[in-house]
Amino acid sequence: MTTMTIAKALTAGLRRVLEENPKSLLIGEDIGRLGGVYRITDGLLADFGEDRVVDSPLAESAIIGTSIGLALRGYAPIAEIQFDGFVFPGFNQITTQLAKMRARAEGRFGAPVVIRIPYGGGIGSIEHHSESPEALFAHTAGLRIITPSNANDAYWMIQQAAACQDPVVFFEPKRRYWLKGEVDTENPAPDAFRAQVVREGADATIVAYGPLVPVALAAAEAAAEDGRDVEVIDLRSISPIDFDAVVDSVRKTGRLVVTHEAPTFGGIGGEIAARVSERAFLSLEAPVIRVGGFHMPYPVAKVEEQYLPDIDRLLEALDRSFAY
């Protein structure tokens, strides 16, 4: 076991991918000499060379298109999009080409590409640097979407994504890059596409993923002071969603709060609420409550803390749930 930040765990995970698979390579803007805006790829150019750590032009569509072509030729590309809001020039390539490749070929081949996207707010940045577009990708069949919330998951999930034969959109919670945690580099983390119960409880369930898992855990600890035993689930995989883990928890606790930074309107929380209502309706003691961003463009840094879900908003949601 060793202590790492999420950022360093990602670096170590990418290094291991490059070491173990000679067909793997990284491609993105400023990922080579600069080491990436957040220094996630720092040092990898020196160790693996320009053929495997490729500084691309400022052209997201070209990054994705090139990655698809490389994958079709037997390589295993890991593409970096510099910020969440910059992905949209490549959105067409991802949703109309990459996601459809296996179905188009009737399963004979696919395009196993990993697309790393730092996402979410809380860094005091400007427009297009703090968005949470995961639901836009989750609506597209053919893509797998995962996001780690801690260093151990970051280390192993990037490797699991690289080994997956389906395209994977790998969302990295940028405001948690400096969050430290224990990393077991010998024993793999659980399957990246399965949820994990990170705090057991009996009275209510909070489902979170990525940057809001620490907030959910803090809210559960605060709720415990009022005698409420709250279970917290780290979803980890946004597509596919591990509904069995969520439903099992709700059947035990009877209450569910789902939280994410993205707007609640059209968000992942709505899908979870609908599925839980279908599969565990008789177990619910209250409606499923969603806590997320507001249905508006991401605000300026001065007021972003009012936009992002926090402990108080989660505790208020729990109060509403227990009031039924």
What residues are labeled active site? Answer: 129
* CA–CA distance, 262 with 237 (Å, rounded to integer): 15
Neighbours of 78 (CB within 10 A): 24
Q: How many CB atoms lie within 10 A of CB 58?
A: 11
Nearest to 221 by CA among 324, 315, 321: 315
| Rounded distance between C-alpha atoms, residue 101 and residue 165, angstroms | 12
Residue 210 to residue 212: CA distance in whole angstroms: 6
